[in-house]
Structure 1
Amino acid sequence: MPDIEDGETVEIKGSAKDPYQLRNVGGVYSCTCPAWRNQSTAIERRTCKHLRQYCGEDAEKARLGGELPTSASRPRRTANSNSTTPTGMGSSDSGNAVSGPPILLAHSWTSDIDLTGWWMSEKLDGVRAYWDGEKFVSRQGNVYHAPDWFIEDLPRDVHLDGELWLSRKGFQRAVSIVRRQDKSDHWKEITYLVFDAPKIDDVFEARMAFVSQLLDESQPKYARPHTHERCKGTDHLREELARVEELGGEGLMLRKPSSKYEIGRSFSLLKVKSMHDAEARVIEHLPGTGKHQGRLGALSVELANGIKFSIGTGFSDAERNNPPPIGSVVTFRYQELSDRGVPRFPAYVRMRTDIEHVPAIVERETAAVSNAVQLAEAVPAGTAVATKPRMFEFSEGTSNKFWEVVLQGSSVTVRFGKIGTAGMTKPKSFPTDQAAKKYYDDLIVEKIGKGYCEVGGT
């Protein structure tokens, strides 16, 4: 039977007038039929008769870990509760509710904290995994079914904290490998990077020395310690952050010297990024224009608090041809929240297959909502209101750039740079609104003439 390649879409005739579309996006197989869309299980655990018909019963059975659902899963009511839990979420293989392992979580760095002397490492774009001496467990307590040959050299009497990592910008591929239950040879692409030993009751430096000695002695083929270096100060921090982000990395993690392993979120572990990440649910596919005619132009998405906006940049050609399904959760990157709580300069990062619900944005969200009323009251009648940002992209060879422009009364602000970065922002003021509008229009015509294509805005 045929398979669906990553990024490929195929059509299959069903009971509806138009054929259904089968897709493989980063190892997550989907169908546009109602039976697939209305299931309550995690999207990587879904199948339907059209996928089974096209890929074959045996292939689908192997992809889902050895069993096929007899019908579309519905939310099940928990004991002694009026709440419901989607089947397959937050449960162990036996169906009993489980909790995640006791792990350390990070806060975001604020510039008032001096990081001189802290231990600095690259923030990995992988899958967090806790080794309990027998198996890998996710933050939610779900088991990652690694092949025996992958874990045979790992210690059986030590707990480790680390990341199942493939490569920079390889998150979606890593997720598609580790969340499958068929223990495939694709695990050979994965490395377990260890950054702590939670059960060792000692300071961070001693714990990492223990990890280094342990792995040096056992020489596991698919595991190694994660590299750390001392931060020499803010300049060193920003230089390293720029280097990592230029290579396609996520950012940096900083560990407080002589700190103990704490359970839960702690200020002894800080994450440093030039932009923020958040999640939203896809509610609509907006059609593209120009270069993107006939495929995705932007995703219309919704935050946990109900705020809606669109994401029009950050997509690869394959993702524009095969966008995340409506109803799926996606991660996007943004610079900051506006006073009305809308993410500014959002860029698509990836589809999330490890969560079902959209978490709230903590950063400034409450203040943004409360300030909205004050902002409206403070703006005098007749004050010019900003246009929505217009986003353009240029891709040719190894050059992948974005350019964004906003008109607000008598000022024009442009933001430009390499796709995936915060870029540079330059405002320009004019004596009149009309002069600013002419400059704004001329800039757009100039960029289109240079080959830039509009991809959507916020």
Structure 2
Amino acid sequence: MDLENGQTYEMQGSGKNPYRIKNVGGVYSCTCPAWCNQSQPSNARTCKHIRKLRGDAAEELRLATAGPLKPLKPEGEEGVNELPLLQGFPWNGEQDLTGWWMSEKLDGVRAYWDGKQFLSRRNNLYYAPDWFTAGLPAHPLDGELWVARKEFDLASEIVRSQGTPDRWKDLKFLIFDAPESKGPFEDRMKFLTDAAPTWKSQYTALVEHVVCESNDHLADELDRVTELGGEGLMLRKPGSHYERTRSTTILKVKKFLDMEVIVTDYEAGEGRHKGRVGALWVRLSSGKECKVGTGLKDRDRDNPPAKGSIITVKYQEQTKDGLLRFPVYVGPRPDGNPHAPIPTRKKTPTETVVSVPAAPAKVEAPPKEDKPKAEPAPQPVTVSAPVPTPVPTGGSTMAATPKRYFEFVDGSSNKFWEIWMDGTDVTTNWGKIGTGGQTKTKSFPDEAKAQKEYDKLLAEKTGKGYSEKPRPA
């Protein structure tokens, strides 16, 4: 018998209570004294209970293939706690990003290939199998180890596991920069585009970058990516060099949703906040409860919203367990009625993230040699995208169409989506089945462009598994 990752098994030993055996990322542990009192690293330990469960042959193979538990440091850099990598600031929501390079913000694990091995930002080693790194160049690459949208937890679990190399087959190394290649960003991307075919690696790809045509273009692309399940966007300043620090030449753009929730309890503050509220416990319309500690000002901690009152929080997305990811306190219910019923659906996405530390309102001008030319505008560097856009399966549509209704039901997902076009307007409505959902209309200068948008949205939804159904009465 063997255990799945995260699974626990109880086995009766000589004592009254059974011992618990657990598998975490290929590392097996047991609560028996024989396992707990060993001096070896945890991934190199075993005991008679684990051997009885898995068999001697499986245990010997696991112990032989597990790498050292303590991560290695690159040669000559002992004691370094964090690698000096290029990192960005959140966009302030106002700066004009026309002409900047735009790409999807990947929800994977940041990984630095130093020419020999993968390292984390904290300078720890990821134990990638030889077949995964085969063909990668001897020079550094900056990117992410990625599984799929909304699968950050799985990607993180795989790269931190030991003794389970087969799990790396689910990963790809998506590359967005060549730190030691000379020149501005455009030259570094051309270098990667020319070099990537020579690596002959099925586990690597380059991240696609396109020129941002305007802030409206940015908003449309952010809508498209988040609707597909993506985390957000990254914007790179044209002509910028690779700085091994946090820089205003790279900006993160995310979208927040907001929700009204009920305050159920308080959590006491610690440190500077000792003696006042540290966080609020809130209940969602689903009945789930979570903690909100970010966004509270000193006055809110001294005089928190009353238990039972309704407040607004903003958040990035909901987890698979139905909880809020990165919830931030916004304020009390704006209509002044704390006891009115809470809506059972999410409100329309309202704002782009502006978190701390926020990007300065004015970005310092780079050295003269870094300034991009006004004309001509840089051309897109088109390389492999993480997830290709589905090809439309339906035929052409009329300029004025009836409402087409689709549903997606899979596990905990229970969603609907509908679309219609009226002249140069394309309207979509989406949400949880049984609710009114959210509605959005886009207007276009002519019917041909409206038709193109209609077909694109239809293809994206059908490509994600939405099935057309009769529209409910």
TM-score normalized with structure 1 length: 0.55
Report the equivalent of 1:387.
Answer: 309
The answer to whether the aligner puts 1:219 opposite 2:200 as a matched pair is yes
Inter-CA distance 8–231: structure 2 relative to 1 (3 Å threshold): same
- Report what 2:106 is aligned to: 124
Deviation at 1:150, TM superposition (A): 1.9
Please tell me whether residue 149 in structure 1 is matched to residue 71 in structure 2. no
One-letter code aligned to 1:258: G
Q: Distance in 2 between matches of 1:309 and 1:14?
A: 44
Q: Is the 8 A contact 2:103 2:208 kept in 1?
A: yes
Q: Is 1:161 aligned with 2:142?
A: yes
Q: Which residue of 2 aligns with 1:414?
A: 342
Q: SS in structure 2 opposite 1:169?
A: coil
CA contact (8 A) 2:25 2:158 kept: no
> Residue 114 of structure 1 contacts residue 233 of structure 1 at CA under 8 Å; is this kept in 2?
yes
The Cα offsets for residues 14-52 of structure 1, whole Å up to 9 and x where unpaired, read as 57755455455776767678999999999x959775656
Q: Distance in 1 between matches of 2:84 and 2:337?
A: 53
**Is contact 1:10–1:21 with CA below 8 Å preserved after alignment?**
yes
- Size of the aligned set, in residue pairs, is 322
Once the two structures are TM-superposed, the CA of residue 250 in structure 1 deviates from its matched residue by 1.7
Per-residue deviation, 1:201: 2.6
User: How do 1:296-375 residues align onto structure 2 when only pairs under 5 Å count?
Assistant: 307=278, 342-343=293-294, 368-372=296-300, 375=303
Pairwise mapping of residues 261-272 of structure 1 onto structure 2 (< 5 A)? 261-272=242-253
Aligned partner of 1:172 in structure 2 is 153
Q: 1:113 to 1:94 in 2, by over 3 A?
A: closer
Alpha-carbon displacement from aligned partner over 1:183-205 (angstroms, at most 9, x marks no partner): 62332222111100111231111
One-letter identity of the residue aligned with 1:244: V
Distance 1:107 1:4, change over 3 A: same
For 2:221 and 2:204, how far apart are their aligned partners in 1?
24
Summarize the Cα distance change of 1:130–1:68 in structure 2 as closer, same or farther, 3 Å threshold: closer
2:8 is the alignment partner of 1:5: no
Match of 1:232 in 2: 213
What whole-Å deviation, never above 9, does each CA across 1:200-241 have from its counterpart, x for those lacking one?
231111111111111033332221211111122222222222
In 2, the alpha carbon distance for the partners of 1:414 and 1:41 equals 54
Is residue 310–residue 338 contact of structure 2 (8 Å, CA) maintained in 1?
A: no
Is this contact kept in 1: 2:26–2:163, CA < 8 A? Answer: no
Q: Residue 189 of structure 1 aligns with which residue?
A: 170
| Structure 2 unmatched runs, 5+ | 258-265, 314-319, 325-331, 351-433, 436-473
From 97, 107, 125, give the equivalent of 2:89: 107
Q: Which residue of 1 aligns with 2:395?
A: none
Cα pair 1:21 1:32 within 8 Å, conserved: yes
Q: Which of 90, 110, 119 is the matching residue for 1:137?
A: 119
What amino acid is the match of 1:122? E
- Find the counterpart in structure 1 of residue 394 from structure 2: none
CA distance in 1: counterparts of 2:244 and 2:211, whole angstroms? 24
Per the TM alignment, residue 127 of structure 1 is displaced from its structure 2 partner at its CA by 1.6
- CA, structure 1 residues 225+54, in 2 after alignment: closer, same or farther (shift >3 Å)? same
Flag the 1:184–1:201 CA change in 2: closer, same or farther, 3 A: same
Query: Gaps spanning 5+ residues in structure 1: where?
Result: 70-86, 277-299, 321-331, 344-363, 392-398, 426-449, 452-458
Alignment counterpart, residue 200 of structure 1, candidates 181, 192, 204: 181
Q: CA 1:20 to 1:369, structure 2 compared with 1: closer, same or farther past 3 Å? A: farther
CA contact (8 A) 2:43 2:63 kept: yes
Q: C-alpha offsets along residues 166-193 of structure 1, whole Å, 9 cap, x if unaligned?
A: 1112223323332234362332222111
Give the letter for the 1:173 counterpart.
L
SS in 2 for 1:412: coil
Which residue number corresponds to residue 440 of structure 1? none
Q: Percent identity?
A: 41
Partner of 1:414, secondary structure, is coil
Q: Structure 1 pair 313/259, CA: closer, same or farther in 2 (3 Å)? A: farther
1:395-406 mapped onto 2 (5 Å cutoff): none
Partner of 2:235: 254
Return the letter of the residue paired with 2:158: I
Report if aligned partners of 2:309, 2:339 keep a CA contact under 8 Å in 1. Answer: no
**Is the 1:22–1:30 Cα contact (8 Å) retained in structure 2?**
yes
Q: Give the secondary structure class of the aligned counterpart of 1:176.
A: helix
Q: Distance in 2 between matches of 1:222 and 1:68?
A: 22
In the alignment, the residues of structure 2 paired with residue 33 and residue 313 of structure 1 have an alpha-carbon distance, to the nearest angstrom, of 41
Alpha carbons 1:41, 1:88 under 8 Å: kept: no
Q: State which of 192, 205, 210 in structure 1 corresponds to 2:191.
A: 210
Aligned amino acid, residue 114 of structure 1? D
Whichever of the two has the greater Rg, that structure is 2
Quick check: 2:142–2:175 contact (8 Å CA) kept in 1?
A: yes
- Specify whether residues 309 and 116 from structure 1 end up closer, same or farther in structure 2 by C-alpha distance, changes over 3 A only: same
CA RMSD of aligned residues (A): 5.1
Query: How many angstroms apart in 1 are the aligned matches of 2:34 and 2:340?
Result: 49
Residue identity matched to 1:250: E
Paired amino acid for 2:4: E
CA distance in structure 1 between the aligned counterparts of 2:117 and 2:232, rounded to whole angstroms: 28
8 Å CA contact 1:194–1:225 kept in 2: the answer is yes
Change (3 A) 1:63 1:258: farther
Q: Which residue of 1 aligns with 2:405?
A: none
